[in-house]
């Protein structure tokens, strides 16, 4: 066991004098930075910083997605922050433009809404980033706590080694403790310096009390002195670097190496080497401090310049604006001031927010005056918009119509009406015109196509069938055989072109009228009508309509069954009534009616199921 005549000090002991001076302050600031960076060892990987400020919104979203897929989340902060700043600025500008246009067209601020697929995609990716980031830092906090506990255990082990270690093995035991210390990961920045100083204090106690194995101790001291002198030379060289931020980052690495990788030196050298290292540290610290002082001055100059622009916007006089052209001129001038504001440059968020709020208030004041004018100006245009939208909706409802005569006349009329209506708000002008023009063009293109497709043979069929329909309508009291003969003749006249198949429906209606006049059972009439319609579909090879017909019949069967079940259920509630009770009779009649209907629907379905199409 080693004798220790020194006081057992548990508190950290500084390598330098306890008198706080400027060098001490500089070193303490650097070491605090090192402590903070100690938590971020896994974040130090440098991802190339692209010029996100010049990218469009969709490109920014694409880059954000690439980062999330290609890199650990803890390495993304700088790049994600840059993307966020660029995206928010660009989308904010877009949003402001959309809102300004909305208000200039007479819209109410409270009614303004704007959605964008690219914003939705961006929000989703940003949410994914935050979820991964939070999970990582939650795990990191747990790991830092575990590492602190491990380091405290090693400190206690080192203290026990000093007080009661076996002289023969204690140096090897000490080396093992040092190896474990280096292998333990980072600890919380709030515990980093104190933990290291406590550990380093006991390491120096060990060396100071180590009388045996003196050669090992001196060899360690010599090696550590050489390494620390190299660190001092590197620290002094950093003062020549032009990039102070890069120099300061390297200085933090040197402090970490000084603490974590290199052990103590002999007592006779400790104060000297620490003093040199501290002095080199102070030079970099002071240079960085001056750099940020200059930067703060530059920021203040930018703030003053931006506030001058804000003052110009606030003082802008719109009292003489009486016409649309007057306001358009003012809008151009205000937009020039806005550009001037943004061209001054970007400020850090902590510096920019107050100025930004003043800028927003100034532009809002201008927009409020402008909106008052345009609300009054756009009253008539809003009414015109309503009228044109009604015409658009009518045109869109007719664009696929096969009732050519009626639809054509209506389309020509609404085109004439459109020309008589005045201007609409510019925001909606292009959109509703495209809709109206598209619907009209669609219809008339179909009309022309129809005319072009009908060749002479088809025209003969169409005209022949039109005449035959009129003949059927003119006849009275056709017999069943005559009805069947008429159906056969209709088929013999030929197949109608697709764009004239509406004549089939007219023919079927004419035949239905004659069937209804025949002395036949209702079921027979319905089935005959049905077969006539279905044979028309088969002739046309319109299998889609055949499928739809079958689906329709199945639904009708289901409806009839449900209605019958409901009536039968109702009947159970009046079981005490006699059969001649009017209510009972009414319910039973209803049940019978649904049974009759069900039989007809079932016959129709059976007929369809037998068809091979």
Confidence grade of residue 17 (pLDDT, cut at 50, 70, 90): very low
Q: Are residues 394 and 405 in the same domain?
A: yes
Lowest mean per-residue pLDDT among 122-131, 250-259, 298-307: 250-259
Q: Are residues 525 and 553 in the same domain?
A: no
Give the model's pLDDT for residue 15. Answer: 40
Give the model's pLDDT for residue 10. Answer: 33
Residues 6+ away with beta carbon under 8 Å from 330: 316, 318, 321, 366, 370
Q: Are residues 470 and 438 in the same domain?
A: no
Asked whether residue 266 is domain-assigned, the answer is no
Give the model's pLDDT for residue 2. Answer: 36
Nearest to 144 by CA among 40, 258, 72: 40
CA atoms within 13 A of residue 539's CA, in its CB half-sphere: 19
CA dist., res. 496 & res. 503, Å (int): 8
Give the model's pLDDT for residue 390. Answer: 92
* Tens-digit pLDDT profile for residues 432-483: 999 999 999 999 999 888 777 666 677 888 888 888 888 888 888 788 788 7
Q: Which segments within 92-173 are labelled E, that is strand?
A: none
Please answer whether residues 258 and 228 qualify as being in contact, where contact means their C-beta atoms are separated by less than 8 angstroms.
yes
Asked whether residue 260 is domain-assigned, the answer is no
CA dist., res. 449 & res. 317, Å (int): 60
- Domain end among 343, 360, 377: 377
Question: How many CB atoms sit inside 10 A of residue 101's CB?
Answer: 14
Q: Are residues 441 and 472 in the same domain?
A: no
Q: ∠ at Cα 158 (152, 163), nearest 5°?
A: 130
Asked whether residue 466 is domain-assigned, the answer is yes
Per-residue pLDDT for 513 more than 80? yes
- Domain end among 541, 572, 591: 541
List the alpha helices (DSSP H) in 321-403.
324-343, 349-377, 379-398
Q: Are residues 506 and 560 in the same domain?
A: no
Per-residue pLDDT for 289 more than 70? yes
Per-residue pLDDT for 19 more than 50? no
Give the model's pLDDT for residue 37. Answer: 52
Q: What value does the mean pLDDT take over residues 158-173?
A: 80
Asked whether residue 264 is domain-assigned, the answer is no
- Domain end among 377, 397, 430: 377
Give the model's pLDDT for residue 532. Answer: 76
* Tens-digit pLDDT profile for residues 350-374: 677 788 888 888 888 888 888 877 7
Give the model's pLDDT for residue 211. Answer: 55
Per-residue pLDDT for 416 more than 60? yes
Question: How many CB atoms sit inside 10 A of residue 496's CB?
Answer: 20
Range with the largest mean pLDDT of 31-40, 325-334, 567-576: 325-334
Output 257 or 551, whichever has higher pLDDT: 551
Nearest to 457 by CA among 500, 401, 503: 500
Asked whether residue 34 is domain-assigned, the answer is no
Per-residue pLDDT for 333 more than 60? yes
Lowest mean per-residue pLDDT among 12-16, 118-122, 154-158, 206-210: 12-16
Confidence grade of residue 4 (pLDDT, cut at 50, 70, 90): very low
Number of domains in the chain: 4
* Tens-digit pLDDT profile for residues 83-103: 888 888 888 888 877 777 777
Confidence grade of residue 12 (pLDDT, cut at 50, 70, 90): very low
Q: What value does the mean pLDDT take over residues 496-518?
A: 80
Q: Are residues 612 and 581 in the same domain?
A: yes
Give the model's pLDDT for residue 397. Answer: 92
Q: Are residues 560 and 609 in the same domain?
A: yes
Give the model's pLDDT for residue 551. Answer: 92
Per-residue pLDDT for 521 more than 80? no
Percentage, residues of the chain above pLDDT 70: 88
Give the model's pLDDT for residue 250. Answer: 84
Which CATH number goes with the domain that contains 551? 1.10.287
* Tens-digit pLDDT profile for residues 543-563: 888 888 889 989 989 998 898
**Segments forming the whole domain that contains residue 507:** 455-541
The burial class, CB within 10 Å (0-12 / 13-18 / 19+), for 541 is exposed
Asked whether residue 181 is domain-assigned, the answer is no
Q: Are residues 384 and 398 in the same domain?
A: yes
Question: How many CB atoms sit inside 10 A of residue 233's CB?
Answer: 11
Give the mean pLDDT of the chain: 80
Lowest mean per-residue pLDDT among 30-34, 55-59, 216-220: 30-34
Give the model's pLDDT for residue 584. Answer: 76
Asked whether residue 464 is domain-assigned, the answer is yes
Give the model's pLDDT for residue 73. Answer: 84
Q: What value does the mean pLDDT take over residues 392-402?
A: 92
Per-residue pLDDT for 9 more than 50? no
Give the model's pLDDT for residue 13. Answer: 34
Give the model's pLDDT for residue 98. Answer: 79
Asked whether residue 171 is domain-assigned, the answer is no
CA dist., res. 398 & res. 440, Å (int): 9
């Amino acid at each position: 066991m080693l004798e220790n005549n020194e006081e057992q000090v548990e508190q950290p002991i500084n390598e330098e004098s306890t008198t706080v001076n400027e060098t001490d302050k500089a070193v303490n600031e650097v070491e605090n930075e090192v402590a903070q960076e100690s938590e971020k060892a896994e974040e130090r990987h440098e991802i190339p910083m692209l010029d996100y400020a010049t990218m469009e919104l969709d490109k920014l979203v694409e880059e954000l997605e690439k980062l999330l897929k290609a890199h650990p989340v803890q390495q993304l902060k700088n790049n994600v922050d840059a993307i966020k700043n660029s995206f928010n600025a660009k989308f904010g500008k877009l949003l402001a433009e959309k809102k300004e246009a909305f208000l200039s067209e007479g819209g109410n601020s409270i009614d303004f809404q704007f959605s964008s697929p690219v914003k939705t995609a961006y929000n989703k990716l940003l949410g994914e980033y935050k979820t991964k980031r939070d999970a990582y830092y939650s795990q990191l906090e747990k790991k830092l706590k575990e590492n602190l506990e491990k380091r405290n255990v090693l400190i206690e082990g080192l203290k026990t080694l000093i007080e009661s270690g076996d002289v023969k093995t204690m140096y090897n035991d000490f080396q093992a403790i040092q190896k474990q210390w280096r292998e333990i990961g980072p600890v919380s920045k709030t515990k980093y310096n104190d933990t290291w100083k406590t550990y380093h204090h006991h390491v120096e106690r060990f060396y100071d009390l180590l009388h045996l194995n003196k050669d090992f101790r001196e060899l360690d001291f010599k090696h550590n002195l050489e390494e620390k002198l190299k660190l001092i030379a590197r620290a002094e060289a950093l003062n020549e670097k032009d990039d102070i931020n890069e120099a300061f980052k390297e200085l933090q690495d040197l402090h970490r190496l000084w603490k974590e990788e290199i052990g103590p030196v002999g007592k006779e050298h400790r104060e000297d080497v620490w003093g040199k290292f501290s002095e080199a540290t102070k030079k970099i610290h002071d240079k960085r401090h001056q750099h940020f002082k200059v930067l703060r001055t530059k920021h203040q100059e930018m703030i003053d310049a931006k506030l001058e622009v804000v003052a110009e916007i606030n003082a802008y006089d719109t009292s003489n604006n009486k016409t649309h052209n007057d306001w358009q001129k003012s809008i151009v001038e205000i937009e020039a001031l806005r550009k001037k504001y943004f061209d001054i440059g970007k400020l850090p968020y902590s510096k920019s927010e107050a100025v930004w709020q003043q800028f927003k208030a100034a532009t809002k004041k201008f927009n409020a005056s402008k909106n008052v004018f345009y609300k009054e100006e756009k009253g008539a245009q809003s009414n015109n918009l309503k009228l044109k939208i009604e015409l658009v909706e009518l045109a869109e409802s007719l664009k696929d119509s096969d009732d050519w005569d009626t639809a054509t006349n209506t389309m020509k009329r609404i085109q004439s009406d459109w020309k008589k209506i005045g201007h609409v708000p510019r925001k909606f002008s292009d959109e509703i015109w495209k809709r109206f023009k598209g619907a009209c063009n669609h219809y008339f293109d179909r009309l022309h196509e129809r005319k072009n497709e009908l060749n002479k043979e088809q025209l003969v069929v169409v005209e022949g069938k039109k005449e035959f329909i009129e003949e059927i309508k003119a006849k009275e009291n056709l017999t069943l055989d005559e009805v069947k003969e008429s159906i056969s003749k209709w088929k013999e006249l030929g197949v109608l072109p697709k764009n004239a198949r509406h004549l089939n429906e007219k023919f079927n209606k004419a035949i239905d009228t004659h069937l209804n006049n025949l002395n036949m059972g209702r079921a027979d009439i319905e089935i005959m009508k049905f077969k006539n319609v279905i044979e028309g579909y088969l002739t046309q090879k319109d299998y889609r309509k055949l499928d739809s017909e079958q689906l329709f019949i199945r639904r009708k069967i289901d409806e009839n069954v449900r209605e019958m079940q409901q009536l039968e259920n109702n009947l159970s509630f009046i079981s005490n009534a006699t059969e001649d009770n009017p209510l009972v009779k009414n319910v039973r009649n209803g049940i019978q009616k649904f049974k009759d209907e069900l039989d007809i629907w079932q016959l129709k379905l059976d007929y369809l199921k037998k068809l091979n199409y």
